[in-house]
Structure 1
Amino acid sequence: MQLNKKVYSDYTNRPEKVLQFGEGNFLRCFVDWMFHELNKKTDFNGSVIAVQPIDKGMVDMLNEQDGLYTLYLRGLKNGKPESIHETIDVISRGINPYTQFQEYLKTAELPEMRYIISNTTEAGIAYDDQDEAGATPPNSYPAKLAVWLKHRFETFSGDQAKGVHIIPCELIEKNADNLKRILLQLAQKWDFGAEFINWLESACTFSNTLVDRIVPGYPRERIAEITEELGYEDKQVVEGEHFHLWVIEAPESLQNELPFPSIGLDVLYVKDITPYRTRKVRILNGAHTTLVPVAYLYGIDTVREAVEHPVVGKFIKEAIFDEIIPTLDLSKEELEKFAGEVIDRFRNPYIKHLLMSISLNSFPKFETRVLPSVLEFIRREGKVPQKLAFSLAATIAFYRGKRGEEEISLNDDAAILVLLKNAWSKYDGTDESIEDVVREVLGYEKNWKLDLNSVEGLTKSVTGHLVNITKNGMEKAIETV
């Protein structure tokens, strides 16, 4: 027996108000769940049409289940493991524009359609010079949306009240601004006319966003257990963590229409998402990047083991609270609350997050996620943050390619791998040759965007830590910081 309307007796038909580009795990675990909660706790009374943004996708499978799926939320809640599940009934149907293009366009004719959501991967919001307005459908997501908006504009004769709120969730900076720029570029290229362009700019709103929730996706390893628990088959089960955060640059009209915060969801309507993006990159992503080489060389393999370890866990917590948070401009209380949530997320007993899976491209990651904290700490405090410097030394040691007798499978840009191989080839066991390794790596301006040897005290600190790690091993070296 498969999940569908017949199995789920509480199914409710609602007006279709949301057009969603993307039918994958993240949107169903994040945005669709939020609209489901809005239906339960307010008079929103709306459903979602899921549009398949690429040729191959899952809308057929979704339609087989009448848009229904089971969501499992698993992780630490108030410090204790909790696993809950619920049937989500907010998706009314899925549409494949590659086989149902006219049906896709007709959704623009729905009077109550009001919100455009998307998650088409980081590459989805991009201009494609090959797109044509008459294609059925055009190739790129922005082009598909452009022809849909033009059809809506024409259907309602440019009625200002029939504009839409466009809320992209792609993980790129200024996602809505970039999408709007491409839509205007296409409108001009395709001669959609000044009236349409004016409608797009005056009747529609574009909100930059930041999204955050770990979504492991379909729980393949335990699907037999889930099927037995549910009593029916669900091919669209999705798993995620309890933590969720959606930061939206939004006009007051959107805040009034979608009162997510009032029902207890972690949705922030702000004028500028920049400090929140910086907070996430520096604390969550930065902590990952800081932790990986230290924990892995210590002999640990997963994030959870690392943060729960008495020595390594203490190291990463102090790095976050003592060296990263002091470089950020949001309130200390807000930053420490977020950091506490991050550590709980790292401790999620339901997610096995391998350190090696995070180690990909460690040097570019260090430059974007950790180096800004290092430089800002030096600017504000007048000294080098020793735990972050220790992590940089550990990263250089990691790229030596050995954990005891075990070979480390390094994965990075070819030029960086060559750089590190050449630098380590000159090591002869002396402290002076370690300093030469450090100077060569820190001087690689292509990665760092500057010569880090020019940063006062940094070369000396990193060299000292790398000497310690190389001669004494990670277990003893970490005790010094």
Structure 2
Amino acid sequence: MQLSKAILTSVKKDLAVSVPAEAQLELPEKVLQFGTGVLLRGLPDYFIDKANKQNIFNGRVVVVKSTNTGGADAFDTQDGLYTICVRGIEEGREVNEYIVNSAISRVLAARGQWEQILDVARSPELEVVISNTTEMGIVMSSDLVTDAPPASFPGKLLAVLYERFKTFNGAAERGLVIIPTELIIDNGRQLKEIIIRLAEQNGLESEFISWIHNANHFCSSLVDRIVPGKLAGNDLEQTREWLGYRDDLMIMSEVFRLWAIEAADPKVQQVLSFARVDSGVVIAPDIERFRELKLRLLNGTHTLSCGLAYLAGFETVKEAMANPAFEAFVARLSKDELATAVVSSQITYEEACKFADSVLERFKNPFLDHKWLSISFAYTSKMLTRDIPLIEDFYKEERKGPTAIALGFAAYLLFMKSRKEGDQYVGTANGKAYTLNDDKAGILSQKWAEHPETDKLVDAVLADTTLWNEDLTLVPGFAEAVKQQLRFLTGSGAQAALQNITKE
């Protein structure tokens, strides 16, 4: 049988599947969401559904999709219901949860159902707008507010806001809380600036522009949750058999969840009442510390680990974390070294270590197949933005003996050793060739060709200001530490280097 409202009473509740009550299927539409992607369904819609089941937020989501598929799709067939399989490790225990999510009331296509979307804009029950339209979605355009529909997401949002302004005669209490989740720093501020410019470009009245400023809350936000999407192959078939129904919208997500929303106005706290049901939703006047923790301790650890992991023969993150020496390396790298460097007036060492612990659990998730080669994409630029600032802070104090940071950087250098084959740069590890997806691969390949002796290679790369915007040989002790680790890597191999560093 197919998941729908009609079969909810037949779902095996004894299997600990969370199923919505009938009343939750009739809640008012409080949220307009631009985007049908798995990240939105696995994070904001997850929180909203959780709150609804506790009778707190009591509102559902109207989803806007940019294309019109024509005819009924899975959302229509399944009455907006879908299953989230939450899998991973949390506080040392394995989590395997199944949730029938009823947050979505309906899905409307911008092309073909634009008037229905404007009807939502006219609704007094609407309170929140959420978006995830990729980084290219928040861009300036030449859209007209009268287009049906405007082409860009900001154009559509402007039309929604203008319709609401006209419907309620500019009433301040009818403003909305608008939360973009696109991966852009200050995404709320940037979206608001574009909306204002578009309104001026359309020649809309100054009263409307004042209403945008004064009645609406554009909140920058940061999202962090791995939502791979559909289950694959045998896993999908086994899960369907276990659940007892077919779900064409079923998705999987990791346990970790974070939605940090930047807002100081108490009204935002009041409107976003779903934040009360899960510590993964954080509403704060400044969310920079959450961005810093994610960038340095999650992304930065990934970057300083991926070359070493691949050279050691590990294809995926979970495979590497099953190796005790590699797990010990990641723990030392994230907690003993990067966490000390990320401490600031906003972040304590204890808070950094707590986040690093969550990173270790995420890395160990047995349900995710995150490939190291995928993580190595744009390796050099990631190293520059995520890790170089921490490396400088870490080495400000005189460091003696080998460090995990130095080993991670040395492994990056060895991983980037390559030869040119056609338009590609190809490296070799453990008898297997791999292609470098890095716009600086040519520079690193040339450095290796010019400096086959490892110590000279390290100096040449670290001193290249075109790579790092500064001369890293001036960072006290760093060059010597990298040289030591690169000599060990080339002489004894990555597995031996792992064993060596974790003995220290």
* TM-score normalised over the length of structure 2: 0.90
Correspondence list, 1:62-461, <5 A: 62-128=75-141, 130-221=142-233, 222-250=235-263, 251-328=265-342, 329=344, 330-379=347-396, 381-383=397-399, 386-400=403-417, 401-413=427-439, 416-428=440-452, 433-461=453-481
Whether contact under 8 Å (1:50, 1:59) holds in the other structure is no
> Aligned partners of 1:58, 1:427: CA distance in 2, in Å?
62
CA distance in 2, matches of 1:51, 1:68: 16
Q: CA deviation at 1:41?
A: 1.2
Shift of 1:67: 0.7
Name the CA shift for 1:480/1:86 in 2 (closer, same or farther; >3 Å): closer
For 1:360-413, what per-residue CA distance to the aligned partner results, in whole angstroms no more than 9, with x for missing partners? Answer: 11111111111111011123x244882212211110101112213222221111
Give the CA deviation at 1:455.
2.5
Q: Structure 1 residues 58, 195: CA separation in 2 closer, same or farther (over 3 Å shift)? A: farther
Moved more, 199-208 or 118-127: 118-127
User: Per the alignment, do residues 160 and 58 of structure 1 end up closer, same or farther by CA in structure 2, a change over 3 Å counting?
Assistant: farther
Q: 1: distance between equivalents of 2:159 and 2:87?
A: 40
Distance 1:320 1:64 in 2: 46
Q: In 2, distance between residues paired with 1:452 and 1:57?
A: 57
Return the letter of the residue paired with 2:226.
I
1:139 partner SS: coil
- Equivalent position to 2:61, from 48, 61, 64: 48
- Aligned partners of 2:257, 2:71: CA distance in 1, in Å? 24
Superposed displacement of residue 119, structure 1: 0.9
Instruction: Name the SS of the counterpart of 2:27 in structure 1.
Output: coil
Structure 2: how far apart are the matches of 1:394 and 1:198?
A: 55
Q: Which amino acid aligns with 1:463?
A: K
Task: Let me know the Cα RMSD of the aligned residues.
Answer: 1.9
Q: What is the rounded CA distance, in whole Å, between the counterparts of 1:300 and 1:89 in structure 2? A: 39
Query: Does the CA contact (< 8 Å) of 1:52 and 1:59 recur in 2?
Result: no
How far did residue 227 of structure 1 move?
2.1
Q: Which runs of 5+ in 2 are unaligned?
A: 10-20, 418-426
**Aligned residue runs from structure 1 range 22-41, under 5 A:** 22-41=35-54
What is the DSSP-based 3-state SS (H/G/I as helix, E as strand, rest coil) of the residue aligned with 1:94? strand
**SS of 1:6 mapped into structure 2:** helix
Assess, with a 3 A threshold, how the Cα gap between structure 1 residues 77 and 161 changes in structure 2: closer, same or farther.
same
Tell whether the 8 Å contact from 2:462 to 2:471 is kept in structure 1 after alignment: yes
Task: Quote the Cα distance in structure 2 between the aligned partners of 1:321 and 1:15.
Answer: 45
After superposition, the Cα gap between the structure-2 partners of 1:142 and 1:239, relative to the gap in structure 1 and judged at 3 Å, is same
Moved more, 107-116 or 212-221: 212-221
Structure 1: runs of 5 or more not aligned: none
CA change 1:58–1:234 in 2 (3 A) is farther
8 Å CA contact retained: 2:395, 2:477: no
Query: 1-side partners of 2:66 and 2:308: how far apart?
Result: 40
Query: 1: distance between equivalents of 2:282 and 2:169?
Result: 34
Does the 8 A contact of 2:56 with 2:273 survive in 1?
no
What one-letter code is carried by the residue in structure 2 that aligns with 1:354? K
Q: Judge conservation of contact 1:419–1:441 (CA < 8 Å) in 2.
A: no
Q: Tell me which moved more, 165-174 or 39-48.
A: 39-48
Q: 1:434 deviation in Å?
A: 1.7
Bigger Cα displacement from structure 2, 449-458 vs 201-210: 449-458
1:209, distance to aligned residue in structure 2 (A):
0.9
Amino acid paired to 2:406: A
Distance in 2, Cα, partners of 1:58 & 1:242: 35
Cα 1:468–1:59 shift into 2, 3 Å:
farther
CA distance in 2, matches of 1:153, 1:133: 13
CA shift for structure 1 position 86: 1.6
Rounded to whole Å, the distance in 2 between the matches of 1:396 and 1:96 is 48
Between 236-245 and 297-306, report the one with greater CA deviation.
297-306
1:6 paired to 2:6: yes
Residues 57, 419 of structure 1: CA spacing in aligned structure 2 closer, same or farther, 3 A cutoff? farther
Aligned pairs, number: 473
Query: What do the CA deviations read for 1:107-146 (whole angstroms, capped 9, x no partner)?
Result: 1110110000111112211112x32333221111111101
In 2, Cα distance between equivalents of 1:475 and 1:226? 37
8 Å contact kept, 2:3–2:81: yes
State the alpha-carbon separation in 1 of the partners of residues 8 and 415 from structure 2.
52
Which residue in 1 is equivalent to 2:16? none
Letter in 1 for 2:405: L
1:473 maps to 2:499: no
Shift of 1:54: 4.9
- 2:240 is paired with a residue whose SS is helix
Contact residue 51 and residue 59 of structure 1 kept, 8 A: no
Stretch of structure 1 that moved more, 5-14 or 332-341: 5-14
Q: What is the CA-CA distance between 1:155 and the residue it aligns to?
A: 0.8
